[in-house]
Amino acid sequence: MNSYTNNSSTSSQGFSASHNNLRKVLIVALIVVVLAIASAFVWPGWALNHQQNAQPAKTQVPSAKTPSIKAKDLPSTSTALLKAMPDTVLDFARVDASASAKWSSASPLEEYTVKYSTGESGSDVSLVVAQWSSRDLANKQYELLLDGLSGVDVASGKIQVSGKTTGSYVLKTESGNKAKASAIWQNDTAVFELTGSKQSVERFYKQFPM
């Protein structure tokens, strides 16, 4: 009886010890797992990779084109109208400016032909600009120029400055040559005619400041 009791006590103690050891192993294993998960979040490499993965894809925006050639200086005696002609438009630079008499029959106050180029063959555009003493006289010349265009319409519309309509514009391809085009527009007392390749004319007139 005493012997049986002693064996039972020893067995009970051994089971208790084994149970405690198993619990310790489980606790240690749990701590290791928790530390592993925690380290994944605080580890610098993880944070860097997470930020890199979270960053949106960058969109490359092409830089505005600039001329590869230098603009020709205007004469020191240039009038306000001629000085208003920009040195550059996009990648076009002014390569020449001179007095013109193309519209002399309409008696403008002043008239000039200004040429622009990107420096590449076939890119040149020629701009004739003139000013009259009144908007009505300028409009008369604008309508006369429109009557002389016989190509296909590409674009047309009104010119507005500060919400006020100051004129109109028309862009047409050259009759018999769709690769060439002319843009004509009136802005208050000034009239403009731009000629050249269709591609160059379209790019230029949209960015012209007047």
Residues 98, 196: one domain?
yes
Q: What is the pTM of this model?
A: 0.69
Domain that holds residue 12: 2-54
68 in a domain, yes or no? Answer: no
Low-confidence ranges of the chain (pLDDT < 50): 1-12, 14-15, 40-63
pLDDT at 35: 53
Q: What is the pLDDT of residue 125?
A: 98
Give a yes or no: residue 70 inside a domain. Answer: no
Q: b or e along 62-92 (b: 16 or more beta carbons within 10 Å of the residue's beta carbon)?
A: eeeeebeeebeebeeeeeebbeebbebbbbb
CA distance 136 to 129: 16
Statement to judge: residues 124 and 184 lie in one domain: yes
| 44 lies in some domain | yes
Q: Is residue 136 part of a domain?
A: yes
Work out how many domains the chain is built from and give that number: 2
pLDDT given for residue 154 in this prediction: 95
23 and 94 part of one domain = no
| Confidence (pLDDT) at 65 | 79
Query: Would you give the DSSP letter of residue 150?
Result: -
Do 26 and 107 share a domain, yes or no? no
Rounded to an integer, what distance in angstroms lies between the CA atom of residue 130 and that of residue 82? 9
Query: What's the pLDDT at 159?
Result: 95
The reply to whether 198 falls in a domain is yes
Say if 73 falls within a structural domain. no
3-class SS of residue 118: coil
Q: Is residue 62 part of a domain?
A: no
